[in-house]
């Protein structure tokens, strides 16, 4: 596709109609963008086609779930077969046992599992469970980390710097109007990748903190890998102070390794939550953890419920997806890292040739591009200092080139991407940066 603006006639008409009936014209704030949002007609493999017939190499992948690409036949077949047998039961079924068994085999922390529908629910369940297990009220979270849109954790995800407080002792900043601000009383906020700051906060609040919750690779604020030894240090501090360590692996789970970031980084939490990639695009999430902790649910001491938990069609998709990821791990994961490294190298080279200051960093199966002169981004404060408006502009330029990435600069790779996709994408980035 050339640098000319892509046709959007049908999309404009749809968005005009949507604004009359959908609040903000979209169904999630993450899709609220300047101008007309992308209206997708269909998807297959590494590609999207919009309602105007434009084709895109897709690196959004539904915000990460389509790890096998869009509409992988084994997953589609599993969904179709289960839908023909029954869509919802409000009863147990064989596939949920099979998926739970596979999760326990794949994920280091998983001795027991419970299913939910979306990641926010699973996080909420994990926090309740941690409070029930420890008898403590508070949770420690990190600035820049996102754990869903529920009130108790929607603090200081991307706060304005004039409200965020000092870097070593950040202040909780609510994420939305209408938030129940009383929940901040049970929240302790810390800077990430700073063991000294965490040590001080735990020494001060430790007897009240039920859990330390984090994204083990920070993906909602860049794609930031923890400093060497940092997660090991956090694990030791949690053990010392008797609080649980919770990994939010909604994004990293099954994307960076069959057992998630905890396998890749060799640190095992007490509880972990999963979603997105585990079902290839269907809405299912999971809470997994040590049996001693999870058995508070078994005993009925901590409540956990939901009409759509272990939804048969979603679980069928999870069974197919996880089977492929598990059985073909030696082919899929090295390939994801290889493709990611090739694309990162190509984007770096294109930016250097164009004379545009850009940092490209991340594990590979997902990575982040930043407009910045910094040589590292370690936490939210570093991320906030990058040119985020420029990254949103690049997103628009790349759409005109037939490439779709997450507007904040995050890129996801799938097993369906090809070497040709990478070459075409690097060429599109080069053309976009020539317009910078």
Alpha carbon distance 332, 149 (integer Å): 32
Mean pLDDT of 295-312: 94
Is the pLDDT at 206 greater than 90, yes or no? Answer: no
Cβ(292)–Cβ(299) below 8 Å: no
Report residue 370 as tokens: 């930043």
276 flagged as catalytic = yes
With residue 57 as reference, give the H or E element that holds it. Answer: strand 55-58
Contact 273, 294 (CB under 8 A): no
User: What token pair was written down for 401?
Assistant: 């080139």
d(CA 415, CA 69): 6
Q: How confident is the model over 376-419, as pLDDT tens digits?
A: 999 999 999 999 999 999 999 999 999 999 999 999 999 999 99
Going by pLDDT thresholds of 50, 70 and 90, the confidence category of residue 4 is low
The reported pTM is 0.95
Distance CA(280)–CA(313), nearest Å, equals: 12
Closest CA to 116 of 271, 312, 311: 311
pLDDT in tens, 34-55: 788 899 999 999 999 999 999 9
| Closest listed residue to residue 211, CA positions, set 140, 142, 147, 143 | 140
Beta strands in 300-409 (DSSP E): 358-361, 366-371, 403-404
Query: Pick from 53, 32, 66, 5: which is nearest to 416 by CA?
Result: 66
Q: How far apart are CA 289 and CA 309, in angstroms?
A: 17
Q: What is the pLDDT of residues 148-167, one digit of tens each?
A: 999 889 999 999 999 999 99
DSSP character for 151? Answer: G
Q: How far apart are the first and last CA of the chain?
A: 18
Catalytic option among 194, 248, 379, 421: 248
Q: Report the C-alpha dihedral over residues 17, 20, 26, 29, rounded to 10 degrees.
A: 150
What pLDDT shows up at residue 107?
98
CA distance 277 to 68: 9
Active site (annotated) includes residue 248 = yes
Q: Which two tokens stand for residue 5?
A: 């603006």
Give me the catalytic one of 59, 133, 151, 276. Answer: 276
377, exposed or middle or buried, with CB in 10 Å at 0-12, 13-18, 19+?
buried
Cβ(107)–Cβ(318) below 8 Å: no
> Alpha helices, DSSP H only, in 86-155?
94-106, 119-134
Q: What is the CA radius of gyration of the chain?
A: 21
Q: What is the pLDDT of residues 234-275, one digit of tens each?
A: 999 999 999 999 999 999 999 999 999 999 999 999 999 999
- Pick the catalytic residue from 56, 133, 146, 333: 146
Give backbone dihedrals phi and psi of 121, rounded to 5 degrees, phi first.
Answer: -65, -45
């Amino acid at each position: 596709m050339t640098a000319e603006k892509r046709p959007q006639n049908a999309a404009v008409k749809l968005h005009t109609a949507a604004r009359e009936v959908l609040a903000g014209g979209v169904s999630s704030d993450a899709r609220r963008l300047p101008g007309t949002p992308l209206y997708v007609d269909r998807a297959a493999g590494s590609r999207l086609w919009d309602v105007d017939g434009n084709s895109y190499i897709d690196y959004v992948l539904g915000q990460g779930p389509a790890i096998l690409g869009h509409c992988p036949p084994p997953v589609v077949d599993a969904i179709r077969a289960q839908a023909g047998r029954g869509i919802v039961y409000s009863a147990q079924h064989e596939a949920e046992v099979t998926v739970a068994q596979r999760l326990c085999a794949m994920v280091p922390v998983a001795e027991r599992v419970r299913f939910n529908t979306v990641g926010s629910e699973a996080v909420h369940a994990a926090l309740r469970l941690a409070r029930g297990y420890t008898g403590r009220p508070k949770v420690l979270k990190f600035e820049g980390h996102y754990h869903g849109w529920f009130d108790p954790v929607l603090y200081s995800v991307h706060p304005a710097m004039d409200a965020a407080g000092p870097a070593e002792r950040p202040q909780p900043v609510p994420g939305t109007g209408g938030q129940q601000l009383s929940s901040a009383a049970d929240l302790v906020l810390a800077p990430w990748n700073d063991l000294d700051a965490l040590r001080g906060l735990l020494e001060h609040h430790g007897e009240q903190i039920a859990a330390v919750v984090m994204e083990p690779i920070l993906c909602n604020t860049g794609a930031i890998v923890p400093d060497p030894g940092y997660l090991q240090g956090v694990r030791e501090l949690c053990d010392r102070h008797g609080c649980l360590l919770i990994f939010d692996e909604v994004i990293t789970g099954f994307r960076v390794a069959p057992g998630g970031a905890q396998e890749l980084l060799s640190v095992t939490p007490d509880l972990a939550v999963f979603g997105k990639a585990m079902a290839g695009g269907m809405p299912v999430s999971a809470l997994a953890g040590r049996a001693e902790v999870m058995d508070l649910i078994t005993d009925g001491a901590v409540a956990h419920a939901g009409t759509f938990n272990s939804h048969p069609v979603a679980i069928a998709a999870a069974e197919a997806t996880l089977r492929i990821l598990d059985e073909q791990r030696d082919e899929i994961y090295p390939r994801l890292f290889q493709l990611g490294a090739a694309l990162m190298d190509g984007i770096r080279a294109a930016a250097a040739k164009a004379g545009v200051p850009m940092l490209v960093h991340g594990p590979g199966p997902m990575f982040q591009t930043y407009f910045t002169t910094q040589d590292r981004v370690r936490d939210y404060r570093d991320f906030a200092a990058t040119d985020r408006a420029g990254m949103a502009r690049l997103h628009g330029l790349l759409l005109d080139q037939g490439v779709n990435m997450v507007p904040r600069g995050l890129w996801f790779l799938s097993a369906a991407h090809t070497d040709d996709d990478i070459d075409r994408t690097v060429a599109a980035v080069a053309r976009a940066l020539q317009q910078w």
